[in-house]
Amino acid sequence: MSQNTRSKRDLIMATAKSLFIEKGFRGTTIAGIAEAAGIAKGSVYSYFTSKLDIVKALFLQSDEKNQLMVEQLLLNEKSKGKGLLEQYLTTEFQEVLNERSFIQVFLTDDMVIMDSEVMAVVQECRINYHLSQQKVLLQAYGEHINPWLYDIVSLVNGLLQEYTVFLTLDNANFSIKRCAQLVTFCLDSAIVALSHSDIEPLLTAKNFPLIKHTDIAQIQSKKALQLIESIKLEANDMPKEQQQLVLETTTLIETELAKAESNNTLIRALIANLRPYNELNSYRKRLAEALDVELI
């Protein structure tokens, strides 16, 4: 996919998002999106089959953005404890404010929230969201919180969601910084108390509702394929010889993933082949995480 192809897809998504906010999901048409984007109606259908298909892409785009945000946050390995947690929460609440208008469209339109394919994407994003929060919490407080990790993530999300509702549906006007400080204080107090208690965890990997009936392996494979597509897009801006090597490597990874039983040793080696290209480092790291192989 060329840079122009990517730009046109991004243009369609950005235009559709603006129209969803302005006119609502029902009031927006594919023809209206095409007209506002200054492209032919058929061009929209070259990338998306329907308005709901665009909504799914917007959620996946937001999910990608969130994962990148967490990745950048965790680059400073010295960032720990309350400071890291508050920084994470501040960023999350700020993103809620940034996306308030779009969230309101999503929460108030039955046509969107009742669509099974859209909700499947939302569920996938929720799982990725939880996994990202686990990384933040483990870096902040260490491995000793592992027994209560799922419970702590649920506490984080309970507070995040309640204040998110205040900010979106109720249009509340309060300081994001103060909100993050308050939530951090409450969570830190709970986490410290749990780590010094003998209370048994309520939620574990065996009974955690979000993943109990979910095929995690399938989600990881899908996420890996999405990352591979992103790597291919980045390769378009590389010199031709490097581009060819990257495309050959990603094709070999895709071939291996298509097998009933993939060879993790081979996949690890193929991901390592991408190491010389600095622009791919972020994708390479996340690809290794998605496929649960060591990054070398």
**Residue-number span of the structural domain to which 277 is assigned:** 217-290
Residue 80 CA, distance from chain mean position? 22
Percent of the chain with pLDDT over 70: 95
Same domain, 165 and 200: yes
Judge whether 253 and 271 are in contact, CB under 8 Å.
yes
Same domain, 202 and 224: no
Task: Specify if 119 maps to a domain.
Answer: yes
CATH number for the domain spanning 38: value is: 1.10.10.60
Same domain, 86 and 164: yes
Structure tokens at 116: 């099974």
Return d(Cα 109, Cα 116) in angstroms, integer: 14
Task: Specify if 296 maps to a domain.
Answer: no
Entry pTM: 0.76
Same domain, 90 and 134: yes
Out of 212, 230, 258, a domain closes at: 212
| Cα dihedral 66, 72, 75, 77 sign | negative
Same domain, 208 and 221: no
73-95, pLDDT tens digit by residue? 998 888 899 999 999 999 999 99
170-213, pLDDT tens digit by residue? 888 999 999 999 999 999 999 999 988 999 999 988 888 776 55
**Half-sphere exposure (CA, 13 Å, Cβ side) for 112?**
24
Provide the strand spans (E) within the chain.
none
Judge whether 246 and 275 are in contact, CB under 8 Å.
no
Q: Write down the mean pLDDT value for the chain.
A: 88
Return d(Cα 248, Cα 246) in angstroms, integer: 5
Return d(Cα 23, Cα 29) in angstroms, integer: 10
200-246, pLDDT tens digit by residue? 999 988 888 776 555 566 667 777 888 888 888 888 878 888 999 99
Judge whether 33 and 10 are in contact, CB under 8 Å.
no
Judge whether 165 and 103 are in contact, CB under 8 Å.
no
Same domain, 134 and 252: no
Task: Specify if 4 maps to a domain.
Answer: yes
Residues in the chain: 296
- Which pLDDT band holds residue 19 (cuts at 50, 70, 90)? very high
Structure tokens at 296: 């070398």
Same domain, 252 and 275: yes
> Is the pLDDT reported for residue 281 higher than 90?
no
Return d(Cα 190, Cα 81) in angstroms, integer: 13
Out of 212, 244, 263, a domain closes at: 212
Task: Specify if 57 maps to a domain.
Answer: yes
Backbone angles phi, psi at 44, to 5 degrees: -65, -45
Who contacts 186 (Cβ-Cβ below 8 Å, separation ≥6)? 159
> Long-range contacts of range 261-270, CB-CB < 8 Å, 24 or more positions apart?
264/291, 264/292, 264/293, 267/291, 267/293, 268/293, 268/294, 268/296, 269/296
